[in-house]
Amino acid sequence: MVSDKRRLGRRIAAPVASLVLVVVVAACASSATNGTIARVIAGAQASATPTLAANVPAVLPATTTAPATTLTAANGSALSLQEQMVAVIKQVGPSVVEIQTDSGLGSGIIYDSRGDIVTNAHVVGTSTTFTVTLSNGHTYPATLVGSYAPDDIAVIKVTATGLTPATFGDSSQLSVGDFVLAMGNPLGLQASVTEGIVSALGRQVSEPTGNALPDAIQTSAAINPGNSGGALVDLNGQVVGIPTLEATDPQIGGSAPGIGFAISSNRAKLIADQLIASGKVTASGRAYMGVQLNDGTNGPVIVLVQSGGPADKAGLVVGDLVLSVDGTLTPDSATLIEAVAAHHPGDSVKIKVQHQDGTTVTVSVILGQLPS
C-alpha cells in the first residue's frame, strides 16, 4: 500500500539543451507551448494515464503447427549483470534514508559515520528539524547543518551509531550509456529501486525559483515524487548523482517517461563538504552577475544592482532591460540566469542592455563568484 504520508509540493523546472526550446514554468504559470519541462521530485503523485489496449478478436485462428516453446537459461552476461545489480542494491541500500519534514517526505544519503546526511535543499525547505528513517526501520531526530539553494544541496545530521556511509564516486568519469540505479523513497515507498542508463551529461536545468543547476545528469531510470535527495548509483556501488528532477510533457500534462535529472556527485560533494565544515558555502564555483531581475513586457529588467558587484563595475543600472548575453537573446530572466550559470567566475561576457531612455549599449561584465 502506498504510504498516506504527505509528499513535498510539486515544483517545475525546464531542462536546457541544444535543440530544446527553453520553457520556464513557475508554480503559478499558466501554460507552455513547446519544449520539455522538468519538476523537482518531491511532489504529490501525478495522475496516472490509462494505457489503451489494442483490439483483439474474440476467437483467434488456429495455427496449423504448434510453435516451439523451448525455454533456455539466461546467458552468462545477463545473469552477471543481474547479480551485479543485486549486489549494488544490497551494498548501497543501508545508506539511503527517508527524511520527513513538516511539509512531507524526501530521501537522503548517509555521507559519513558522524551522521551527516546529504539531500536536496528543496527537501528540507524551511525546516530545521527532521525525522530520519534508516533502511532497518529505526527512526532518529535530525537537525539542519546547512542548505545551499543555488545548487539545491543540503546537509542534515543525526546522532546514531552503526551508520553505513555511501561511497561517492567521480561523476566526471561517467559515460553516456552507463547503467545506473535510482534509489530512494518514491511516493513514500521506502527503499525503492529503478534502473536505467546515463542518457546525457552536462545538462543545465532550471528550477521555478530561478536556480539554474549546472552539470546535471540525465537518466532514463524512473524518478518519482519522493526520490529527491536519494542516490543515483553506478554498477560499482558508488553514488554518482542525487536524483532531483523529473521531466513532464506540457502537451499531455503529465510525466515524460524516461527523462529524469540528477545533480552530479562532484557538485554535491563540493557543496556538502563546505556545509559540513562551516554551515555555509564560500566557494561555489558558480558565476555571478550581481543583479536582481523582474520580467517585464519586453524581457528581464534590472531592479537591483549590488554595490561593487560585477554589473555595477560594468556600469549597469536599475531599469536597464537586458537584451542578450554574448549574442544570445534573453527574453526572460530564466534564460538570462541560465546563460550566466553556464559560465565560471572570472569569465567575461558581453551584455547588451537597453536604457530607460531607449538607447542601447553592450558592455563587458567580468563575472564574480556567487556569494553564500
Cell of 93: 541500500
Q: Which are the catalytic amino acids?
A: 122, 152, 228
* pLDDT given at position 210: 65
* pLDDT given at position 176: 97
| Amino acid in the structure at residue 295 | D
Domain 287-369 has CATH 2.30.42.10: yes
* pLDDT given at position 213: 87
* pLDDT given at position 51: 32
* pLDDT given at position 87: 93
* pLDDT given at position 59: 40
* pLDDT given at position 251: 72
List the chain pLDDT tens, one digit each, 372 residues. 444 343 443 343 444 333 232 222 222 223 333 333 454 443 333 333 333 333 333 343 443 444 444 444 456 677 888 899 999 999 999 999 999 998 889 999 999 999 999 999 999 999 999 999 999 999 999 999 999 999 999 999 999 999 999 999 999 999 999 999 999 988 878 888 999 999 999 988 877 566 788 889 999 998 888 889 999 999 999 999 999 988 777 676 677 788 999 999 999 999 999 999 999 998 888 888 999 899 999 999 999 999 999 999 999 999 999 999 999 999 998 889 888 888 889 999 999 999 999 999 999 999 998 876
CB atoms within 10 A of CB 303: 13
Cell 551522521 belongs to 115
Phi/psi at 63 (5° precision): -90, 150
* pLDDT given at position 32: 32
Rounded to two decimals, the pTM is: 0.73
Domain ranges of the chain: 1-44+81-282, 287-369
- C-alpha to C-alpha distance for 7 and 2, rounded to whole angstroms: 11
> 348-354 and 321-325 as β-strands: parallel, antiparallel, unpaired?
antiparallel
104-112-136 Cα angle (round to 5)? 55
DSSP 234-288: ETTSEEEEEEEEEEEETTTTEEEEEEEEEEEHHHHHHHHHHHHHHSS-S----EE
Closest CA to 185 of 251, 268, 280, 109: 109
CA dihedral 53, 55, 61, 65 (to 10 degrees): -30
Q: Domain spanning 1-44+81-282 has what CATH number?
A: 2.40.10.120
Check: CB of residue 326 under 8 Å from CB of residue 350.
yes
